[in-house]
Structure 1
């Protein structure tokens, strides 16, 4: 796969010259560039002293992922703050990527060699992403109209599905952290960074065709590449997307899994913060509109990168429960502001673009560590969602409560038929109380089942229940939300 430079190389090269990058590699400038202003470069993460760093290195040298002592010790270091230079080693240990690599028959380098054939036939190079997008657009249009490009031989080494995946990955590369030095512009470092990300994502689509490539994966792979080598990042992505403990319930080809998890978080949110949840619903903001962007990119849109990495540390340790925990923490920190807003146009942007004063490490992380989310809670909410969707599927739908009558009508009914109206109100109140009791009873029953099930104590024991066909009916909601996964700088 040869190197190719686009026609805009000199322009983009000049644009990145003169920029200063912060310690995490993000561009900062004095100019009022909105794309660059999104990132905050005033970091507040704690730094370990030399003695603590030595202790952490010793822990990693004799790491045993199945040891409770090792995991509790690494959590203690996370509370104190993982040094950036050691973060890659910590993630490798927590994910145990060597185990997956050794047990798999998949060969990363061999896969890249096999991919070269289709890319050469297409005239595409990962070292020229902009020109690759134009070429892939043309090829996809030609394939759609059954008109093959004249330069292609009749026995093509690629299919229309290959072209679609190549094109989508190339497009998403342009949106993934465009202000990070490894992906910004056309500098040699950025060209190589984009090429690595392109290769990792294409290889994963070949490695796991059941998941393939979907929106959000480019952000996750890009962060992994900031801390791991190319092949290590590939295997780390494999662990994250396949293990039930981590993100296996977020990504699939249809998008049904993330929709289901957004509904689970919605139930969890209603359970933990009922008043705030109702207020957000009243202003016509659905949880799915902000939960999907948060979950699919693992909160990388937060402006303070030291907070993002600390959140990722926790996710590497605790998995999906840490994702729910982070979402709840952010909502709790924004609660007073959200309660004062009564317009959808103000509420949703606040949730999608969390302010700096909330996302600062010194604010967000203490709140995150003090927020408790139990795995059984998430499993209970998952069961509630499955019950509700199954109930709707079977036609068991609760009759909606009619809107209140105008005051004059109420007074007339009271005077004419007061006793009957009081009886109706009493029945309605009793049914409401009964409904609450039923939900509570189900929660208790589910919690008891979870605690009695020893298998549930293992994070990797088995995947959560399949969402089935009911999730397909929610696909229309997702189309509105995927556009919320905006370009993250």
Structure 2
């Protein structure tokens, strides 16, 4: 693909304490107080001061706490605690029909990132285990290539087992609407999101929407990966992480907001381009358009919650789509004692 694979050019990790400035140290301390030991105070704080939590998440979760906070805000920590030993059984004792597909695709997931570069190295093994485990946990969905980017990003911040349960929380809908429809046959949720996004472009950026129509450009040509990988595939790593912070807490709305904010920031240039150059530009946004400190505030200013619900209903009415399924527990047959 033509997209710039910038996400894997950076390494996740924590700066040593000596390199944290005083302001960052104070920020980390605020977060530690909010979380409590091992997350013990998190739910209490979220109930007591939801607006403070939302504001701090939108400013970015400190990198040294990101893995833990992602588990807390996604609901995956609860799933892990409710299912002791399940991940180990899925990895060790179960077999998957998708194993060869997973092995084939692993080298394509963040290929430039040091953690995943070594063939059969620890990063690739962990990624294989998580994807195999999920394909067994949910045999209806199994494995689809885009899942690798979600699991790969999670593995940079947490253990295999933690990453697996966060993947379950996302796809099965522990907190927000389930994402499994992004990967089911026919990609039903992708189709819904693209429908919603196309309508939103026409409503928020009418001139650009008309220009896209004239050039026969539709969102499936440039935005599918945004939804399937939540911007982890081709966007700068610092931006992808900030988007994921918000995505895990507020849901998929942020993907629509970021998409509209990107198009808005490049509006004048996009209006000048014809089909082929438009496609290239929509897959390769300039670096200045993807500065988290300017893009995210612009995205947050776009109010979409009510309209997204209306467009979802409109899409479902037109296509006879039923309501989302909720989290289900795995059906396991232990093959070893």
Task: Give the alignment's TM-score, normalised by structure 1.
Answer: 0.57
Cα 1:87–1:283 change in 2 (3 A) is same
Cα 1:270–1:386 change in 2 (3 A) is farther
Q: Measure, in 2, the Cα distance between the counterparts of 1:263 and 1:377.
A: 13
Aligned length: 302
Cα RMSD (Å): 2.5
Residue equivalent to 2:103:
170
Residue equivalent to 2:213:
281
Residue equivalent to 2:16:
none
Q: Measure, in 2, the Cα distance between the counterparts of 1:383 and 1:294.
A: 22
Residue equivalent to 1:372:
303
Q: Measure, in 1, the Cα distance between the counterparts of 2:311 and 2:90.
A: 40
Residue equivalent to 2:250:
318
Deviation of 1:70 after TM superposition, in Å, equals 4.3
For the pair 1:101 / 2:101, whether they are aligned, the reply is no
Cα 1:78–1:266 change in 2 (3 A) is same
Task: Give the alignment's TM-score, normalised by structure 2.
Answer: 0.82
Deviation of 1:282 after TM superposition, in Å, equals 1.1
Q: How does 1:75-474 map to 2 (within 5 A)?
A: 75-104=54-83, 107-115=86-94, 162=97, 165-186=98-119, 191-243=121-173, 244-245=176-177, 247-341=179-273, 343-374=274-305, 376-389=306-319, 463=324
Q: Measure, in 1, the Cα distance between the counterparts of 2:243 and 2:22.
A: 16
Partners of 1:108 and 1:203 within 8 A in 2: yes
User: Over alpha carbons, which structure has the higher Rg?
Assistant: 1
Encode CA deviations 1:149-178: one digit per residue, 9 max, x unaligned. Answer: xxxxxxxxx7xxx1xx12221222121111
Deviation of 1:22 after TM superposition, in Å, equals 4.9
Partners of 1:97 and 1:232 within 8 A in 2: yes
Cα 1:221–1:302 change in 2 (3 A) is same
Residue equivalent to 1:24:
12
Cα 1:208–1:66 change in 2 (3 A) is farther
Cα 1:70–1:93 change in 2 (3 A) is farther
Q: Measure, in 1, the Cα distance between the counterparts of 2:187 and 2:10.
A: 35
Q: Measure, in 2, the Cα distance between the counterparts of 1:71 and 1:47.
A: 26
Deviation of 1:296 after TM superposition, in Å, equals 0.6
Deviation of 1:226 after TM superposition, in Å, equals 0.5
Q: Measure, in 2, the Cα distance between the counterparts of 1:99 and 1:463.
A: 21
Residue equivalent to 2:24:
49
Cα 1:107–1:63 change in 2 (3 A) is same
Q: Measure, in 2, the Cα distance between the counterparts of 1:65 and 1:347.
A: 48
Cα 1:314–1:113 change in 2 (3 A) is same
Cα 1:301–1:354 change in 2 (3 A) is farther
The DSSP-based 3-state class of the residue aligned with 2:162 is helix
Deviation of 1:105 after TM superposition, in Å, equals 7.8
Cα 1:58–1:104 change in 2 (3 A) is same
Deviation of 1:320 after TM superposition, in Å, equals 1.5
Q: Measure, in 2, the Cα distance between the counterparts of 1:318 and 1:215.
A: 25
Q: Measure, in 1, the Cα distance between the counterparts of 2:280 and 2:117.
A: 25
Deviation of 1:312 after TM superposition, in Å, equals 0.4
**Residue from 60, 68, 81 that aligns with 2:35:** 60
Encode CA deviations 1:321-378: one digit per residue, 9 max, x unaligned. Answer: 122222222221121111111x21111121122221111223322322333221x211
Partners of 1:249 and 1:257 within 8 A in 2: yes
Q: Measure, in 1, the Cα distance between the counterparts of 2:209 and 2:221.
A: 13
Structure 2: segments with no counterpart, 5+ residues: 1-8, 14-20, 326-337
Q: Measure, in 2, the Cα distance between the counterparts of 1:66 and 1:49.
A: 21
Partners of 2:222 and 2:282 within 8 A in 1: yes
Out of 310-319 and 320-329, give the one that drifted further. Answer: 320-329
Q: Measure, in 1, the Cα distance between the counterparts of 2:59 and 2:200.
A: 29
Cα 1:246–1:314 change in 2 (3 A) is farther
Encode CA deviations 1:434-473: one digit per residue, 9 max, x unaligned. Answer: xxxxxxxxxxxxxxxxxxxxxxxxxxxx738xxxxxxxxx
Q: Measure, in 1, the Cα distance between the counterparts of 2:92 and 2:316.
A: 43
Partners of 2:135 and 2:141 within 8 A in 1: yes
